[in-house]
Structure 1
Amino acid sequence: MKRLFTILVMLVAVAQAFAQTTTVTGVVQSSSDKTSLPAANVVLTRVADATKSVTATDAEGHFRFDRVANGQYTLEINYLGFQNFTRTFQVSGSPVNLGPLLLQDGATAIKEVQIIGRAPLGEQKGDTSQFNAKAFKTAPDASAEDLVTKMPGVTVQDGKIQAQGEDVQQVMIDGKRYTGEDVNSAVRNLSADMVESVQVFDGQSDRAAFSGFDDGNRIKTLNFVTKKDKRQGYIGKASAGYGTDERYMVGASVNYFNGDRRITATGLTNNINMFDFSIGETPGGGMRGRRGWGGASPNGIINTNNFGLNYNDNWGKKMVVGGNYDYSNRDVVNNQYRFRDFVNSDTTYTENSINKDITESHRLNFRLQYNINENNRLLITPRLTLERRESLTDRNASTIADSDVISNSLNSNNADNASLNFSNNILYSHRFGDSGRILTTEINTSYNNTDGDTYQLENTQNLIDSERNVSRNQYINLDRTNFAWSGNLDYSQRLGEKSRLQLEYNIRNQDNDSDKRTYDYAEGEGTYSDFNVPLSNTFQSNYLAQSFGPSYQYRSEKSSLQVNARYQYATLQSQSEFPENYSLKRSFNNVLPSAEYEYKFSKSTNLRINYRTSTEVPSVEQLQNVLDISNPLNPSIGNPRLDQEYQNRLFMRFRSFNQETNKVFFMGIFGTMTQNYIANSIYTKDIPFELPESYNRQSGARFYRPVNLDGYWSVRSFFNYGQPLNIISSNFNVNGSVGYSRTPGMIDELINYANNTNFRVGLNLSSNISEKVDFNISTTGSYNLVENTLRTTQNNNYYNHSTNLRLNTIFWKGLVYRTELNHQYNSGLSEGVDNSYVLWNMSLGKKVFKNQQGEISLSVNDLLKQNLSIQRNIASDYVEDVQSSVLQRYFMLTFTYNLKKFTGQAPEDPNSGQGRGNWGGRP
């Protein structure tokens, strides 16, 4: 007891000693217009012993140093495009507020560099890669997407923008989040000529930014810093086109800027597979214009009506708000052919299907950050989604063994579902003055309800045993509700100038209630009145998890280290009333460690290593013990005895940026290992558990049930090297990756590991000649090896290669020629699946009106009429190829009008930048 008392006395003494130190704050601004400069590098050096502390300004240009001892200090600030700033001052016990620190524009120095060669590409500042937009030439009407895809480490993979090997998930403009879910739309609704610089970094979560402790939840972020003279005015584009086969497109996008206020409005109606319209859209709709929700190229023939509104502003000097509303109505018709080759037998599965889908949705997101005072901050982020979906699937499927059809199924599913999703997160943080203590609380709630009706027809012929033939006419009603909440409490205390300790408590609860009832059609009554108990199920589950543990953080000029350890106790309860009455309760005990280490070899070269662990609870669909025969040849059932997954994730990233030669190199390794991985157990023979007596299993049908298996792991490496080629005024990039995944599965009680190895290398050359000649050439080859441990004869290697050319050129008297050419080569796919194609789009336009604001163009989509959609999917028990219907050749005449008016420098907002300092993390 005496020893414990002594330790407490020492801790109090240490805390009192730390209290003798003070804080140094300030805000970094441009001297020309007083605008804030986010992510500026700030170095504080103590003159007596040359001890350095380093930080970066937040979204509003604010910086803060805590625990600063008395003495004389030198402050140095560096920011791309501005002259270096230095100031010496004295600290003598009281907090030091340096106020606005004004950086002089470095335009003169940049011009001197341009006389000798080219504008500087950018620089690496800690974990932030910052690129100078002046170093990349784009067409006059280019979007920010055209700009960033010229930058080293930024590519487009499967329709999604990637930076340094990861999908970009967040976009910011001048340090403020673009509130919305579609990253592509955000990037494509900003004009390239408005951008001063682009920052690429790993954004922290709001909780980490408020508490100053990294929780490991990083998202790849692009921050566009706009030019000072483009922050007041508007820019937009409107297009209307009509073409052959009654193809049409009408769309508009307008951006309004007035200092802190940003408003974007978009609207679109078309039947040429465009999901959104932006200021960078190619007249007539090019390949870039037909990306689906989430980025991937959409399959089928799609009619879309869309309207979106995005709003960002400051309400007074203490509130920062952002909101997004999106309405969408999509009508999709997609015909598919599917060929599936199974691992453990000579059995194959073929399917031809016609899919019709109509989806209407309303999405609303809002974000309000209230900086109450310098010690209290509040963040509220509600989200609401309403969706109605009507779908019709007609499927003709066959199971084939030794070239003979053993079962054939014709079935139709007509579904009408409505869903409501609402979530709200409230985050509050309190700082105890200059003591170095911060208390952060977070409450999150979410509610989801899905109510749907499905009519299902089935006519299945068993060519081996005719007694198993099935004719079915059923109605299914589904009512599913999910309510979840979580709470988090963090308390952190500085232990010195370089270290900090945090204690964290978390509790989360997820409650599911699913009621699925199936009714057979009663011929005599002419209604669906016969209740089918074996195919019905009521199911409730409740998951409650609590965790507690400490975190330690150490930061110096060269390195930083953070280690966390949490103990988690969780319970999962499940209960069902029918088809059988049962209840089940399980508990889980886990230790969840995590760590992050970063070392800065120099200002432009650094290495970061991150390790995290987490658990994942099974979904309702995986737990629900109800038979699903919507696809009679591939039926499935849930497993209420599933355990939660335990995941280990590790990634390492190395970055180097040579500002003198403009050479850039990125390399990363990402790895995941999962215990109790939820895999599929497939049964082709005897089934070791009881099924409804009325169920007739078809010959060759494969029965699926989720189970927990160990042995899943994957690893992927990524690299990118880029440098300018001054001899042809272009930027050259080479990138590649090596990946390996090991996926366990069970086939007739035997474990199979599907091993997939992927090698990819790509080259990219983007022009930097002039605004009148803009091209991008890229080629990427990918080789895949698929190996199965259960049956090596089913091993398969395949190769695909994609080459793309995009060219925009303006020549004689405002004539504009655009072309987009894509050659896709595939080798090793299934027989009967078309392997290769060339997709060629082009347009010829004429600029009209004053300042060439208008354009009339004639475009052609898929000139050679070869467009195809082929996708290979690899699972633990099969390899399949899917070919989908796509939009093919049409011609379109389009009129486009560009809107652009900037009134010059935005007036200074007297409230801007006040009280919005970040307490310890990136915004």
Structure 2
Amino acid sequence: MKRLVQLILLLFIVINSAYSQINIKGRILDKADDKPLTNASIILLNRDSVLRYFNRANEEGKFQVKNIKPGSYIILATYPKFELYSDTIQIADKDLDLHDIKINSQRNVLQEVIVTRRLPITLKGDTIEYDAASFATEKNAKLEDLLRRLPGFTVTGDGSITAQGKSVQKVFIDGEEFFGYDPKIAIRNVRADAVDKVQLYEKKSEEAELSGIDDGVRIQTVNVVLKEKARKGVFGNMEALAGSKELYAGNLFAAKFNKTERIGITASHNNMGSSSGREGSLRMNNQITGAPLNTNLGANYENQFFKKALKVNANYGYDNNSNRNHSETYNKNVLPDESIQEKNSKNDNERHSRSNGLRSNLNMRLDSTQTMELQSNANWANNSNLTYTDSKTGDGSGNPISDFRENNQSNSSSSNNNFRLNYRKRLKAGRSVNLMVGNNHKESNSDSKVYSRTYFYKTGDSTIIDQDRHGRNSGNDFNSSINFNNRISDYINLALGYSFNHSKNTNTQNSTDNITQKFDSLYSQNQIDNNTNQGVNINFSYRKEKLEINFSNRTFYKNQKLNDSYRSIDLARNFWDNNLNVDANYRLSNSKNIRLAYQSSNIIPSFDQLQPLQPQTNPLFQQVGNPDLKRAVNNNISANYNAFSLLKGTNININGNLSFVNNPIVNKTTILDNSAQISTYENLSGKSNWNGGLNINHMQPLANRRINFNKSANVRFNNSYSYTKFEGGQSGGEFLLNNAKNTNFSLGSSLNEQDSEGFDFDLSANAGLNIQQNSINTQYNATSFQGGTSAYVKYFLPKKFNIMANIFYSYTGPTKLYKKSINQFYTNIELEKKVLKDESMTLSVKAFDLFNTFNNTRRNASDTNYSESVQQVLTQYFLVGVKWDFNKYLGKGND
């Protein structure tokens, strides 16, 4: 009987196994002539891209893969010198016949492109990979120069990167951040000849990666893969500059790479106003504001220990900066009764700041299923500031209204430290649990002496403020969360989470009147803010073949309290808050992608907006809260389409968004006839603040791909509301609702050629219209033209001489209130000579704003308030410099 039971069980297992193992078959053919591709490889990968089954085609091109478990697979068909065939198949409960699979020879795929040993650009899933050796750069060039040569990339003079029409926010070196506090250090100093590949992709947000909850945020990311030999060596550069007006700058960068260990240091000292080592960059508008003095030091250390189970990243930064500056602002405020108040302000400022910052990140793999990460940061800073303000307000006809003068001298110190611990455990069957605990603590102290005199011409009254102010702020923010992820199937993932946050902040300012020696409560506060938030979140994601959908919803219960004993304020509230995010991504093909997203969130009025009276800052401005404010609801819709052709080298990117706020919280300003203002807030029912935009970028190569031709079109529209009342006007002291509309149209194009032969150039031009409209005082509505052009040219001369020029021009048209147009023009030029056998040293002579033509006037507009400002700047100056690039081993040798 026992043997019979065993036999029955064995038979059941065999039958069940036979019914659960499926076979697939098909035939691999040359698409050009239907000839069989003998010995073609057939590969089946699971959803995690792990190889599960493999076979080859016979002489007739036929293949069969047996005993496949049901599920979803990626099938690959490969044959030497033929394109890679890829598709997703679903194995159910019966055999599958794929019939004929026809693939192209690479000669047909690449059309007129000559196939060499290396392909300049390849697609690997969602990643675009550039082969660095396929793009020529100068000797001793940096990663920044290499990126400028990659199709679809642009790099501005200050080091900002745009790729495929999107701003790049992260730059990794071999998958890790280098000098995490300033990612631009990597592109400015890592050598181009040390780079093997440049990868471009979109990564999830740091919060999503740590918690396991996909929030739908995607970050445009560049990962630089170094050559194997470049992972060990010493490299860096030293630069010294001196010039007219007693200008000088010195910069140092040095790094040592040793497989997993990376050590780097940076240092700079200059009186040219930059803390980034870009003082000698010809591509930038190097206007020097005020009289700056900067000293910066930095150090970075990375390594891996215990067979790469522990990753360590730490960096330190020191900054010591100061400046003296003079600025002037000319403001025109159009009042509801069509009159104008004009304010002319002069400001002299001297500031000093010194800070130390330390950041560290420890990532430990406890075992094959557990990881733990600890992030910690600390910062200490001291600041001093001396400001003198002289402001005069008139009625637009030359008659004075008020005169305000103030001296303010302050000193402050602050400290901030925080940590965040993340633990992740992978469970069975695609499940995982994530735990997070973090805390942030901050403190600051300040002392200031304030003396101001405000004179009102209409009444002949004056107000004098002579005070000592002592401030102390402290805060502690504790947060934690637990999230559970469950892969329900190959396509569906569900995540549930809970979060808890508690914060307490104390903000105290004690003001003493030096004339009466009494405490002044009007300019003081003793505010204690307590917040406790608890929330649950759910995330649902679906990913199958070309479609990816993410849905997340976060619901919070918030308990908030604010108390101020100086002003008898005791506010408390409890409420629910909800944030919704939905996004869908559909891959039309390997090179075409469309993405749609929707977000909904509440705009909760802050306690600053609710409390009846804020501490006053000066007699001309008073902030009054509205305790009856209600929340507003913000809705945002965005769409993106991207298409990239490897064969043609073209790219088109279209971005659109629309955001609207229901029941918006709007400003409500009362302007007195003595020019003082009282500001409060109010919900506006029945109307919405909204804005939208559309941006189109298209790139295509010209002249056998030697030149990149970029075109762009952009339109943005903003619609907002605000209340204004002028008590001295003819409107009877009633509030008038102003509807401000602002529309911007612009068109742009650029031509870029950089192959380090003959001459390189980067030319761009743009033109647009700015339309500003208000529902009150419509006589000042205006349409102004804006445009500009720039040109960067580098000519390679014999004997290792090079000459460069950067020419910039912009135009801002006149308006109804400012009759003069603004023309900004400058020309920078440089002559350089490379010396030494390896061309590692460069001697240069540079001239900035050669013709002394730059106009630093800035113009701004907001609702019915218009302003122009100028600053003390130095634009024309000359520099001589020497720069030495040193390199031991890194990237050297033949490929």
Q: Report what 1:8 is aligned to.
A: none
User: By how many angstroms is 1:187 displaced?
Assistant: 2.7
For the residue of structure 2 that corresponds to 1:659, the secondary structure is: coil
Q: In structure 2, what residue type is equivalent to 1:323?
A: A
What's the TM-score, normalizing by structure 2?
A: 0.82
Q: Report what 1:64 is aligned to.
A: none
Contact 1:336 1:354 in 2 (8 A): yes
Task: Please give the alpha-carbon distance, in whole angstroms, between the structure 2 residues aligned to 1:333 and 1:77.
Answer: 68
Matching of residues 527-542 of structure 1 within 5 Å: 529-542=517-530
Match of 2:282 among 271, 280, 286: 286
Q: Report what 2:419 is aligned to.
A: 424
Task: Please give the alpha-carbon distance, in whole angstroms, between the structure 1 residues aligned to 2:446 and 2:605.
Answer: 22
Matching of residues 498-537 of structure 1 within 5 Å: 498-522=491-515, 529-537=517-525
Alpha carbons of structure 1 residues 250 and 803: separation in structure 2 relative to 1, 3 Å: same
Q: Report what 1:705 is aligned to.
A: 680
Match of 2:311 among 316, 320, 326: 320
Alpha carbons of structure 1 residues 483 and 824: separation in structure 2 relative to 1, 3 Å: same
Matching of residues 683-698 of structure 1 within 5 Å: 683-685=670-672
For the residue of structure 1 that corresponds to 2:433, the secondary structure is: strand
Matched-pair identity in %: 24
Deviations 1:477-526 (A, max 9, x none): 12122221222221121211111211121222332211111111137xxx
Q: In structure 2, what residue type is equivalent to 1:420?
A: S
Matching of residues 277-356 of structure 1 within 5 Å: 277=277, 284-288=280-284, 299-316=289-306, 317-345=308-336, 346-356=340-350
Q: Report what 1:847 is aligned to.
A: 834
* Alignment of 1:369 onto 2:363: yes
Q: Report what 1:486 is aligned to.
A: 479
Task: Please give the alpha-carbon distance, in whole angstroms, between the structure 1 residues aligned to 2:677 and 2:82.
Answer: 66
For the residue of structure 1 that corresponds to 2:822, the secondary structure is: coil
Matching of residues 81-92 of structure 1 within 5 Å: none
User: By how many angstroms is 1:87 displaced?
Assistant: 14
Task: Please give the alpha-carbon distance, in whole angstroms, between the structure 2 residues aligned to 1:501 and 1:355.
Answer: 55
Match of 2:600 among 599, 613, 622: 613
Match of 1:558 among 539, 543, 546: 546
User: By how many angstroms is 1:773 displaced?
Assistant: 3.1
User: By how many angstroms is 1:52 displaced?
Assistant: 7.4
User: By how many angstroms is 1:54 displaced?
Assistant: 6.9
Task: Please give the alpha-carbon distance, in whole angstroms, between the structure 2 residues aligned to 1:677 and 1:639.
Answer: 14
Q: Report what 1:408 is aligned to.
A: 403
Task: Please give the alpha-carbon distance, in whole angstroms, between the structure 2 residues aligned to 1:542 and 1:860.
Answer: 56
For the residue of structure 2 that corresponds to 1:813, the secondary structure is: coil
Matching of residues 617-766 of structure 1 within 5 Å: 627=614, 630=617, 632-636=619-623, 646-675=633-662, 677=664, 679-685=666-672, 699-707=674-682, 711-726=688-703, 729-748=706-725, 749-766=735-752
Q: In structure 2, what residue type is equivalent to 1:775?
A: F
Mean Cα deviation higher: 168-177 or 797-806: 797-806
Q: Report what 1:439 is aligned to.
A: 433
Structure number with bigger Rg: 2
Deviations 1:198-247 (A, max 9, x none): 33333213342355541234333222223334222232211112211111
Match of 1:898 among 882, 885, 889: 885
Contact 1:126 1:606 in 2 (8 A): no
User: By how many angstroms is 1:794 displaced?
Assistant: 3.3
Task: Please give the alpha-carbon distance, in whole angstroms, between the structure 2 residues aligned to 1:647 and 1:421.
Answer: 32
Contact 1:612 1:650 in 2 (8 A): yes
Q: Report what 2:227 is aligned to.
A: 227
Q: In structure 1, what residue type is equivalent to 2:380?
A: L
Task: Please give the alpha-carbon distance, in whole angstroms, between the structure 2 residues aligned to 1:82 and 1:859.
Answer: 53
Q: Report what 1:585 is aligned to.
A: 572
Q: Report what 1:769 is aligned to.
A: 755
Matching of residues 5-16 of structure 1 within 5 Å: none
Task: Please give the alpha-carbon distance, in whole angstroms, between the structure 1 residues aligned to 2:441 and 2:630.
Answer: 24
Match of 2:464 among 468, 471, 488: 471
Deviations 1:526-548 (A, max 9, x none): xxx32112221111122222222
Q: Report what 1:917 is aligned to.
A: none
Task: Please give the alpha-carbon distance, in whole angstroms, between the structure 2 residues aligned to 1:309 and 1:114.
Answer: 46
Alpha carbons of structure 1 residues 222 and 859: separation in structure 2 relative to 1, 3 Å: same
User: By how many angstroms is 1:119 displaced?
Assistant: 7.9
Contact 1:165 1:718 in 2 (8 A): no
Matching of residues 769-808 of structure 1 within 5 Å: 769-770=755-756, 773-808=759-794
Deviations 1:788-828 (A, max 9, x none): 23332332333332322223333121112222222122213
Task: Please give the alpha-carbon distance, in whole angstroms, between the structure 2 residues aligned to 1:839 and 1:886.
Answer: 14
Deviations 1:97-126 (A, max 9, x none): xxxxxxxxxx99999997579986635555
Q: In structure 2, what residue type is equivalent to 1:701?
A: A
Higher relative contact order (CA 8 A, sep 6+): 1
Q: Report what 1:497 is aligned to.
A: 490
Task: Please give the alpha-carbon distance, in whole angstroms, between the structure 2 residues aligned to 1:269 and 1:827.
Answer: 39
Mean Cα deviation higher: 389-398 or 609-618: 609-618
Q: In structure 2, what residue type is equivalent to 1:521?
A: N
Contact 1:131 1:199 in 2 (8 A): yes
Q: In structure 2, what residue type is equivalent to 1:441?
A: L
Q: In structure 2, what residue type is equivalent to 1:569?
A: Y
For the residue of structure 2 that corresponds to 1:662, the secondary structure is: coil
Q: Give the unaligned 5+ runs of structure 1.
A: 1-16, 23-43, 58-67, 92-106, 291-296, 524-528, 686-697, 907-923
Q: In structure 2, what residue type is equivalent to 1:398?
A: K
Contact 1:364 1:384 in 2 (8 A): yes
The Cα RMSD (Å) is 3.8
Deviations 1:895-914 (A, max 9, x none): 221112225699xxxxxxxx
Alpha carbons of structure 1 residues 243 and 188: separation in structure 2 relative to 1, 3 Å: same
* Alignment of 1:247 onto 2:247: yes
Q: Report what 1:5 is aligned to.
A: none
Alpha carbons of structure 1 residues 511 and 861: separation in structure 2 relative to 1, 3 Å: same
Match of 2:536 among 520, 540, 548: 548
User: By how many angstroms is 1:605 displaced?
Assistant: 0.7
For the residue of structure 2 that corresponds to 1:188, the secondary structure is: helix
* Alignment of 1:576 onto 2:557: no
Contact 1:397 1:410 in 2 (8 A): yes
For the residue of structure 1 that corresponds to 2:144, the secondary structure is: helix
Task: Please give the alpha-carbon distance, in whole angstroms, between the structure 1 residues aligned to 2:797 and 2:150.
Answer: 26
Match of 2:876 among 862, 886, 889: 889
Task: Please give the alpha-carbon distance, in whole angstroms, between the structure 1 residues aligned to 2:82 and 2:449.
Answer: 66
For the residue of structure 2 that corresponds to 1:374, the secondary structure is: coil
Q: Give the unaligned 5+ runs of structure 2.
A: 1-15, 22-40, 52-67, 92-105, 726-734
User: By how many angstroms is 1:373 displaced?
Assistant: 1.5
For the residue of structure 2 that corresponds to 1:230, the secondary structure is: helix
For the residue of structure 1 that corresponds to 2:523, the secondary structure is: strand
Alpha carbons of structure 1 residues 186 and 827: separation in structure 2 relative to 1, 3 Å: farther
For the residue of structure 1 that corresponds to 2:193, the secondary structure is: helix
Q: In structure 2, what residue type is equivalent to 1:502?
A: A
User: By how many angstroms is 1:363 displaced?
Assistant: 2.0
Task: Please give the alpha-carbon distance, in whole angstroms, between the structure 1 residues aligned to 2:434 and 2:827.
Answer: 54
For the residue of structure 1 that corresponds to 2:838, the secondary structure is: helix
Contact 2:235 2:890 in 1 (8 A): no
| Count, aligned residues | 805
Contact 1:139 1:774 in 2 (8 A): no
Deviations 1:126-155 (A, max 9, x none): 554444444544443443333334545544
Contact 1:152 1:733 in 2 (8 A): no
Mean Cα deviation higher: 210-219 or 801-810: 210-219
For the residue of structure 2 that corresponds to 1:700, the secondary structure is: coil
Q: In structure 1, what residue type is equivalent to 2:230?
A: K
Task: Please give the alpha-carbon distance, in whole angstroms, between the structure 1 residues aligned to 2:445 and 2:864.
Answer: 33
Task: Please give the alpha-carbon distance, in whole angstroms, between the structure 2 residues aligned to 1:656 and 1:488.
Answer: 39
Task: Please give the alpha-carbon distance, in whole angstroms, between the structure 2 residues aligned to 1:649 and 1:255.
Answer: 44
Q: Report what 1:913 is aligned to.
A: none
Contact 2:348 2:389 in 1 (8 A): yes
Q: In structure 2, what residue type is equivalent to 1:307?
A: L
Task: Please give the alpha-carbon distance, in whole angstroms, between the structure 2 residues aligned to 1:594 and 1:410.
Answer: 49
Alpha carbons of structure 1 residues 706 and 503: separation in structure 2 relative to 1, 3 Å: same
Task: Please give the alpha-carbon distance, in whole angstroms, between the structure 2 residues aligned to 1:618 and 1:483.
Answer: 22
Contact 1:781 1:801 in 2 (8 A): yes
For the residue of structure 2 that corresponds to 1:373, the secondary structure is: coil
